[in-house]
Amino acid sequence: MVRRSFRVRMSDGIELATDVYLPSAEGRYPVLLMMTPYGKGNLQVLADILVQSGYAVLVQDVRGRYDSAGEYHPIKQEQSDAPETIDWVSGQPWYDPDCGMGVVGISYLSTVGLICAAKRPGHIRVLLNIGGFADTYRISHRGGALVLHHMLPWSIITSYSPQPSLQDIDWDGVYRTLPLCEAAGAAGFDNQLWRGWMESDLRHDRWQQHDVSDLLDDIDVPILHISGWYDLCLGETLALYRHFAERACSPQHLIIGPWSHNGVLSGPEELSGVNFGPESRPGVPKRIISWFDRWLKGAEPSADLTCDQKPVAVFITGENRWLSDRSWPVSDVQQKEIYLADGSLSWDMPPVGGCGSYTYDPQNPPPTRGGAVWEFPAAELNPGPADQSELHDRDDLLVFASDPVSEPMTIAGPVSCELFACTDAETTDFVVKLLDIHPDGTARLICDGIVRGHLREDPSISTPLKPGQVHRFCIDMWSAGHTFNCGHRLGVEISGSSFPKWDRNLNSLSADRPTKARQKVYWGPGEASRLHLRVVK
């Protein structure tokens, strides 16, 4: 293998530090691109693997990061830099234009890949999308709430080169900083990216600068989409798959495993004390290379985990098996509703109405335990199906449980909650979790979601709640593929927070002073709070 280093000049004179890895033999090769804000040196191992498979691999520090010149403006700058880099590659003697180029997209790199495919379709023939997104607002917010646990440290690691150590910081204290715009400074790494985002809790122009959604209809290339049930970008990766599966002519394949955001390529078989078995690690790197070989070298398609007839493969937790299908959501399912009642869940509407209540105190918020979170051990944040039962001794949440299932029941598809609730505040949050409650009382988290009261209708418009009035909230809980085994119960937990996964709602729109809010959740005819599930037939 040969590595060559270049300074690739952009049209405005800025030079981007670029390493090109080539097979030892002279010749022309299909090219794989990786443009990263995290330091090109961190991708050398992956580049080595790809070069051994007969590719030329370009790894580049994006503008303003590490060894590249200029100022860093996430995503926005890639709109011009990425296509100009492709133009540079197209003139190199080691590039084979008959084969073309592909983009190795992992998180931010996937978004760059979308730009490449939209702006240089003649060269870009195929994409890999691992945990990618088109709309930065939608991966930095859920239901109007800020994904605090990730966006705050991300603003820091992308504002300093090399990225600083985030160890030995009181992250609980940092996450509690008020006003929130001072939180990066409280960690010792103030930055303008964070301050710009914190100018408003509404979806504003700074978020729009990071959005490439308007390019999606210009893209029609084969894409392998990969994510995990515990990936903080799962929702957006699934949204990209659905968009292209519905509108693009090119094949779209989807693989969802029991993985975290950073664990797709080489993560452990076990998360949160749950072992998913050797079947959960089906050689993802090998499948990635097979995908590129098919579309850049004309190789025969691999037909093990996915194929064009069944391009979707999802791992069913609880049963530890793969389910293949022709679409996502999977086709052979029944849409069902399970209703909240007085501490219970029922497949039938409760005949009598009622309500449960609790007080949400932002100064003592229910804490995050596992789930689809960024791996951040320094802040005691670890993804996975963590046991929530220790939280159920708190008096500031409600728990509902079904009868034990008499035979295994598998859900596969989107999960959402239709919640009827009221509060005595002008804004508040409602967090809903779907749980698998084991016979021993362990309550494993399957998926969750949140809604911010005053942003329930539109994240760009503040619509205060009317204290004391029952409102209908629609809460997106993303998706799940899970089997509830015999003797297990479905569980639902409702509270006012999962902190610091999401930032705290202070229950006020006019001050940075936390105040308590009294919440009521309703059930029964007319105010039938319920979950929407897709049950495999």
Return the minimum-mean-pLDDT range out of 114-123, 302-311, 422-431. 302-311
Number of structural domains the chain divides into:
3
Q: Are residues 397 and 499 in the same domain?
A: yes
Those residues whose C-beta lies under 8 Å from the C-beta of residue 37, and which sit 6 or more positions away, are 61, 62, 65, 72, 74, 108, 158
Residue range of the domain that includes 16: 2-136+209-325
- As a whole number, mean pLDDT of residues 111-128 equals 98
Q: Are residues 296 and 170 in the same domain?
A: no
Q: Are residues 240 and 91 in the same domain?
A: yes
- As a whole number, mean pLDDT of residues 273-296 equals 93
- Per-residue model confidence as pLDDT tens digits over 468-492: 999 999 999 999 999 999 999 999 9
Tokens of 181: 């715009």
Nearest CA among 109, 135, 95, 92 for reference residue 37? 109
Q: Are residues 308 and 438 in the same domain?
A: no
The pLDDT assigned to 172 comes to 98
The pLDDT assigned to 266 comes to 83
Q: How many CB atoms lie within 10 A of CB 484?
A: 25
With 80 as the cut, is the pLDDT of residue 302 above it? no
- Per-residue model confidence as pLDDT tens digits over 368-422: 999 999 999 999 999 999 999 999 999 999 999 999 999 999 999 999 999 999 9
With 80 as the cut, is the pLDDT of residue 318 above it? yes
Q: Are residues 427 and 282 in the same domain?
A: no
Kindly report the CATH number assigned to the domain that includes residue 503: 2.60.120.260
CA distances (Å), 42 to each of 17, 27, 39, 66, 69, in order?
A: 14, 26, 6, 11, 19
Q: How many CB atoms lie within 10 A of CB 188?
A: 12
Q: Are residues 360 and 382 in the same domain?
A: yes
The pLDDT assigned to 282 comes to 77
The pLDDT assigned to 512 comes to 81
Burial profile 92-120: b = 16 or more Cβ within 10 angstroms, e = fewer: eebbeeebbbbbbbbbbbbbbbbbbbbbb
The pLDDT assigned to 283 comes to 83
Does the pTM of the predicted model rise above 0.95? yes
Q: Which of 280, 303, 325 corresponds to the end of one domain?
A: 325
Q: Are residues 216 and 267 in the same domain?
A: yes
With 80 as the cut, is the pLDDT of residue 273 above it? yes
The pLDDT assigned to 267 comes to 80
Q: What are phi and psi of 312, to 5 degrees?
A: -115, 130
Collapsing DSSP states into helix, strand and coil, what is residue 63?
Answer: coil
